Structure formats: structure tokens, C-alpha cells
Structure 1
Amino acid sequence: MASFKKTATGWRADVFKKGIRRSKTFRAKREAVAWSNQIEYEIEQGHHDTGAAPPNATMYHILERYRDDVSPKKRGARWEVTRLNQMMRDPLLADVKLSDVGPRHFSAWRDKRLKEVSGSTVNREFNLLTHACKLAWREWQWLKEHPMAGVSRPPENKPRDRVITDAEIESYVETSGFSFKTPPATVLSRVGAMFLFASETAMRGGEICKMKKTDIDFNKRVVYIPETKTGVPRWVPLSTKAIKILNHVLDYTKGTPTVFCVTASQRDALSRKIMKKAGLEGINFHDTRRTALTRLSQKFGPMELAKISGHQDLKILQSVYYAPDPSDLVEKLE
């Protein structure tokens, strides 16, 4: 039995017959219908085995199955689906037959991507491809060997060391329209409030977007983060200013599912808009995390700081997220 679903790029056909599932996306619905009819006929004729790769399968089919069956179970599903859809449109990778795929194809893909994006981005996509190929090799048995074995990774980018100044924070907040004197009625102003809150707490943007009122203990002045990047929940202490921001925002957003009532995509797009309008260069929203941790390091030791930030590796905390001004270190000698 076939079903059809409209997607952002066309029509997706899903066929499930005799325990065998196949899916593919097409630009036009008529192409999806024709393909599903052909697949149903082939299944009836015994040309498909349960769990086996489709006839003449390519890397497209591995990426598609991973996108549909594996990615939805992850916290980073939105990012993965976007990247996988992009890879599935890249003929240098997607059109390679599984019977022929090998290290040379991934080396060519890597070199092409390095001309378009940074080494760190390529490495994140490399991780995604590696996991997809490993599943296709070990569990799905679509591949006879791991085709990415031996393919070298590009070097990582130099870690960012940008700390946002007080003047830049003030400019960002003012441009967003956020003020303690007026209700944060616009999404833009609440993004400004999030930026200010992140600069106080070192919380990630995604964590702030998901924060609910029930996660906050105003008596103990802490916020509980149940879902984190590392998978380990943590408590974050709240400064007097952070409490003030929350109270002011909640006066307007009370009754909404989340405290700031801003989605991750809204925060990302509007933050870029604010920075461009404010003329702020060389910074991004995530730099608030480094900024806050650098300031908090004046009050907390390394272990306490790691508890606040959620870092399990102190080397990452020290080399990437702690960027003190050398003059501040000199002052401590006096």
C-alpha cells in the first residue's frame, strides 16, 4: 500500500508491502505514483528482500533511510535532516552506486565542501556520514565494507576567543527594542532579552528557547535544564540581573509554553538581523556563552564553572570557553 506526502521539495512516496518498506521523494506527484506502482509490482515478483537495499541502490538511499529512520530519534534532528537533504541533492555523493562507493568518493566530496564551508563544518558532516555508512555496513548489510575507512579529516578551525564587550551587549539589546521600562511584546525584543540572559547565565541559545517556568526555582535562584547537549541535566545559578530579566519577560509571556516564547529558528534569524542593524561584527549569539563563563570565572573555580556550563572536559572549557583579558590576570597578582 502506497501513501504520498507533500514535502518542501516535492512529493514523498512511501510503499509498505509484505513487510518491505521503500520510500523516495520526487518533484511531481505523478512521478511518485508511477514509482510506487513499479515498486509494488517488483515486491510482488519477489525482487525485494526485507531490509535489503533497493535494486541499483546509491548513497542517496542510505542517506534517505538514515534521515527517515535514525535522525528523528535525535535531539539534533532538525540540523541533521537539513544536512542530509543537502547531501541527497549533491550528485557527487548521492548518485554513487553502493556497488562502487569507496574512499575516493568521500575524498572528492570533502575537498569540494572545503571550498564552500569551514573545516569544522565539514567535520560535523563527516561524523554524520560516517555513522550512516557504519549502520549501512554493520546493521543494514547494504555495504560489504565501511567506504569511509582511511579518509582523512580536515583540520578543525581555530577555536573562537571572542568575548562580547558591555558596550556591544548594550547596543544589541537597545537595537532589539528590549527595555525593562516596557513589556517585551515583540519577538525581536524577547530575542534581545534572551541575549542579555545568556550573557548572565552562559546557557546555550537552544536551552533558553526550551526553558519553561516550571524549570525555574525563584526561591533557590536556579534554573533546571533537563535536556542538554551532553545528555546530562544540570542546574544553573541565576544572578540578580538574570532574575530581573525572567520576571520582566514572564509578566508578558505567562501562560505560554516557554518563558521567552521564541523558537530556535526565530532566535537565529532575528539575532542576525539585530547584529546587522546594530553594526556588530565578528560576534554571534553563542559568543554570549564564552562571555558569561569568562566573567563567572572571577567568582567560581574550574570545577564549579564546569558544573554551571555542563562541560565534562575541562580542556574544552579552558581552551574554548574561558578567554580572560591578560590584564585581569595581572591584577590578581597584586
Structure 2
Amino acid sequence: MRRYSVASFKKTTTGWRADVFKKGVRRSKTFRSKRDAIAWSNQVEYEIESGHHTPGAAPANARMHDVLKRYRDDISPKKRGARWEITRLNQMMRDPLLADVRLVDVGPRHFSAWRDARMKKVSGSTVNREFNLLTHACKLAWREWQWLTEHPMAGVSRPPENKPRDRVIAPTEIEAYLKASGFSFSSPPKTVLSRVGAMFLFASETAMRGGEICNMKVADIDFNKRVVYIPETKTGVPRWVPLSKKAVQVLNHVLDYTGGSQTVFSVTSRQRDALSRKIMTKARLEGIHFHDTRRTALTRLAQKFGPMELAKISGHKDLKILQSVYYAPDPSDLVQKLD
């Protein structure tokens, strides 16, 4: 006997929405193509008809690809680091060492093989960040989604972290960066490249993160008190950052040109990332990352502020991280303090 479809399909702005209603079970999902929507609805109908479908259950013959996809679509968009997570998850979904493994078979050996393969391509710190992402996805699939009967990453060893960076940017290197970016106090910062240069100098003065500077608005600045308010931070705790005279000078100079823009520097995080690398190459600066401005600023500020004050400025909750990663004094400077 012919089995009639109980699915309906509707074109949406993002693709095709499939709606299935059979034996009291209603499911709906949106796909990029109608072909995918039809294939999914047929699978759901078959599972309902055969009695193997329960709302929220893992798809038939589910793989780790399905876990990563659900996490990418449902969990990552709610996070501040969504762009990074989605990029990593898309990469993992293309990795056969993970994506092609069926959930009924997945276990520690698969994640150990993935870890060892990744360690040949990227640093231990990068693998650990991806490890954290996978751990959370698997924990949700186990405890909340009930797609897994146990945590498949339990007992899998983490790779060793990289040695903390201790690079402090020299004043001559800052000057070289500014020259390559085209930033100068004698001319308006009309190009995005020159405003990235201004951000680099501002970061070297304030120890603010690149993303915090990109998101900074005029309303966040109190020029009378010489402070800037950061409502959204990496740690989730808002903070005030004091502004040096040079930092204020940078802000006034940039705002003379970008005063009507949504953000102070009118530069996106993506533009800053790409253009900063371009500036580094042009200036022939090696071994420097934009984030090194944070260590550079904190090392200088440590000469004026105590550990607790420094932590308030930087937003660090753990003083050990502040000491081991972001404070890199020159030994000769410490010797001079003895005399």
C-alpha cells in the first residue's frame, strides 16, 4: 500500500521549512534546499511509522557530525565567542576522524586520535581550546539531549599548554607599526588602516583587549574623569579602565574624524585582525601579535600600580594568570629598583 506523505514545505527567507505531523508527533525544521527538507521529512515519517522516533531523540544512525551541528546551530549563537566557535565546529564537521564516527561507536579512542592528529598541525593551547568545545558538546549530548549513554571524552588526556608568551613590544616597534599603518597625530585617520594603527597605540596605553576597543562607544568614555567603561568583557564582569594622557590624545584625534560613527574607531574585529597582520608584514615586525599590546601595557603599568589595582584595570580574576602571562618585566628594571 502506498504511504502518503504528511509533510508540508514552505519557502522562507533562509531556505525551506519542512513540517511533519503524524500519529500525534509534530516536527519542523528549516533547510537550505528543498531536497534536504524532503529527505529529512521522509526519514522522520519512517521513524514515526516504525515506532523508533521520540521527540528530541538522536537522528537514526546519528554521527558526531550531528552533535556538532546541533551545538553549532543551537548553542554557539548564544555566546559572545560565537564566530570563533562556529568556525571551529565547521572545521570539526569536515574532519572524518570525528564527524564520521557513529554515536553508538564513539569513545575515548576517537578523541585521542583526533587530539594526536591536531597536535601535528596546531599548538597545544589551540587543541585545548578545541578540546573544551568538544567536551561541552559531548556533555550536553550525554546529560541533556540523551543522545549518548556516557561521556565519550572521559579519561582522554589533554595536551600540554604552550609556554606563556612573554613578548613585550619595544617603543621603536610601536613607532614602526604606526608608520606602516599611516597613523599620525598630524593628519586625520581617514583610512581603516590608520585607525587600526591608532587602536594599536591605544591598546599599548590601556591594556584593553582588541575586541573591547572595537566595541567602544563615545558614551562609554568619561573625559572629565579620564576613564572608559567596558560593559561587556571576556570574564563577564564590567570594569572601568583609566586613560593615560596619550590614550586621551588618541581618542580625541580619532573622534575628530569618526565622531558620528557607531563606535569610536569605526573598525570591526575582522578588519582589525586582517589589517594588523598586514601592518606587521609591512613594518617587518616579527614575533608580535596585536594582543601583545596588553602585556606591554600591563608591564609598564605595574611600575605604578599594585597587583590588586592592576587586576582591576586588566579585568583578571586570577592573579596567577596576570603574573605568569601578562606581566613581563625587564630584569634590569627590577635591579634598578633595588638601588
Give the TM-score taking structure 1 as reference length. Answer: 0.93
Counterpart selection for 2:309 from 304, 313, 329: 304
Residue equivalent to 2:115: 110
Residue equivalent to 2:283: 278
Counterpart selection for 2:261 from 253, 256, 261: 256
Tell me which amino acid in the other structure corresponds to 1:230.
Answer: T
Residue equivalent to 2:134: 129
Q: Secondary structure at the match of 1:214?
A: helix
Alpha-carbon distance in structure 1 between the residues aligned to 2:129 and 2:26: 34
Gaps of 5+ in 1: none
Residue equivalent to 1:39: 43
Matches within 5 A, 1:199-278: 199-278=204-283
Matches within 5 A, 1:182-197: 182-197=187-202
Larger radius of gyration: 2
Residue equivalent to 2:27: 20
- Deviation of the 1:32 alpha carbon: 2.1
Counterpart selection for 1:287 from 269, 292, 297: 292
Q: Say if 2:84 is the partner of 1:69.
A: no
Alpha-carbon distance in structure 1 between the residues aligned to 2:141 and 2:175: 50
Gaps of 5+ in 2: 1-7
- Deviation of the 1:21 alpha carbon: 4.6
State, as a whole percentage, how many aligned pairs show the same letter.
Answer: 75
- Deviation of the 1:49 alpha carbon: 1.6
Matches within 5 A, 1:37-186: 37-39=41-43, 41-42=45-46, 45=49, 47-186=52-191
Please list the CA deviations of residues 219-275 of structure 1 after superposition, one character each: whole Å capped at 9, or x if unmatched: 100000000010110000000000000011111111111100101010000000000
Q: Secondary structure at the match of 1:332?
A: helix
- Deviation of the 1:16 alpha carbon: 4.7
- Deviation of the 1:97 alpha carbon: 0.3
Alpha-carbon distance in structure 2 between the residues aligned to 1:22 and 1:136: 19
Alpha-carbon distance in structure 1 between the residues aligned to 2:215 and 2:47: 44
Alpha-carbon distance in structure 1 between the residues aligned to 2:9 and 2:166: 53
Tell me which amino acid in the other structure corresponds to 1:168.
Answer: E
Please list the CA deviations of residues 138-183 of structure 1 after superposition, one character each: whole Å capped at 9, or x if unmatched: 0000000000000000000000000000000000011000111111
- Deviation of the 1:40 alpha carbon: 5.2
Alpha-carbon distance in structure 2 between the residues aligned to 1:24 and 1:61: 14
**Is 1:191–1:270's contact at 8 Å kept on the other side of the alignment?**
yes
Distance 1:42 1:23, change over 3 A: farther
CA RMSD between the two structures: 1.8
